[in-house]
Amino acid sequence: MRKRSHRSRVVVAVAVATALGVAGCDAVGDNSPAPSASAEPSPRPTPLWDRSPSSVAAVGDSITRGFDACDVLTDCPEASWATGASPEVDSLAVRLLGRAKAAERSWNYAVTGARMADLPGQMTQAVRRKPQLVTVMAGANDACRASTAAMTPVSGFRSDFEDALRTLREALPKAQVFVASVPNLKRLWSQGRNSPLGKQVWQLGICPSMLGDADALDSAATLRRDTVQKRVEDYNKVLKEVCAQDKRCRYDGGAVYDYHFGTAQLSRWDYFHPSVNGQARLAEIAYRTVTAKGP
């Protein structure tokens, strides 16, 4: 009995010592389990927005075609804010890709006079190039009609824009989209109405709903211009809302609408479309939006 008792005390002592030893390690160091030899760090998730896409396609209207930037009543795509090669503009494509690659990896499918209803067809052309970034600037011609009654309804504008994005997504689920706001047409009227030459060109049919009877300041003319301006604001609201539903779409936050185009930024032929200088300012806005860390 005495030997068994002694042996029992030894066993208990060893067990207690072992327990205290373990407790001592826990108290002094890390008590987390040792990492598995096969454990690997989790890969970082691919960001939804790539701030340096390797190709650019542009869709839209006369602004993206550089209309009246280089010569009267003529497209000048080399001066386009989106894809132009002009060193004076330093287009979005040149800023993102470099001049040499921009010549090979950027495409302009915008059409002078295009409205939002034309955007799905342009997008169909653009997706064939499989661009990583598509720029959108459209809506001015939807407001620039022969009369306010002829302006594109907001519901139709929304439906056409959604259709264009759907066309893109069905073909290129991971392509990114930059959406520029519609410019402030009333401010452009205010800037250009002091130019006799500009007003002569306006009479040829440039945005008659806003620019027609440019010197008229009566209540009917004021109501007409305010109606056009309200429609532009509604269009921009649509662009913002629809773009927000697409995780790979960035709206400019109204930056183009808010930009104050001075005489230096407007075409010296029509004082309405952007000049080469104005195109460069649009390129700056787009580049800031595309390369920003967040929308």
| 130-186 confidence digits (pLDDT tens) | 999 999 999 999 999 999 999 999 999 999 999 999 999 999 999 999 999 999 999
CA angle (207, 211, 213) in 5-degree steps: 130
Which pair of tokens denotes residue 113?
A: 């006079």
Burial of 154 per CB tally in 10 Å (0-12, 13-18, 19+):
middle
Buried b (16+ CB within 10 A) or exposed e, 72-90: eeebbbbbbbbbbbbeebb
Which pair of tokens denotes residue 240?
A: 């913002």
The amino acid occupying position 148 is T
Q: Centre a 10 Å sphere on the Cβ of residue 103 and count the other Cβ atoms it contains.
A: 13
Q: Report the percentage of the chain scoring pLDDT > 70.
A: 84
Which pair of tokens denotes residue 82?
A: 């989106």
pLDDT on residue 36: 46
Give the residues across from 108 on adjacent strands. 58
Which pair of tokens denotes residue 28?
A: 């002094």
15 Cβ contact partners less than 8 Å away, ≥ 6 residues apart: none
Mutual angle of helices 154-171 and 219-244, in 10-degree steps: 30
Phi, psi of 236 (to 5 degrees): -65, -35
pLDDT on residue 198: 84
Question: From start to end of 190-285, where are the E strands?
Answer: 249-251
Q: Can you give the pTM of this predicted structure?
A: 0.83
Give the residues across from 137 on adjacent strands. 60
Taking residues 47-58, report their average pLDDT: 93
Could you give all domains of the chain from N- to C-terminal order, each with its CATH number? Answer: 56-291 (3.40.50.1110)
Taking residues 97-124, report their average pLDDT: 98
pLDDT on residue 295: 77
pLDDT at 123 over 60: yes
164 Cβ contact partners less than 8 Å away, ≥ 6 residues apart: 59, 116, 119, 120, 122, 123, 136
| 274-295 confidence digits (pLDDT tens) | 999 999 999 999 999 999 998 7
Cα distance between residue 282 and residue 285, in whole Å: 5
Q: Report the percentage of the chain scoring pLDDT > 90.
A: 77
Element (H, E) at 15: helix 2-28
Burial of 146 per CB tally in 10 Å (0-12, 13-18, 19+):
exposed
The amino acid occupying position 92 is L
pLDDT on residue 46: 56
The amino acid occupying position 212 is G
Residue 46 has what DSSP assignment?
P
| 219-234 confidence digits (pLDDT tens) | 999 999 999 999 999 9
Cα distance between residue 77 and residue 66, in whole Å: 5
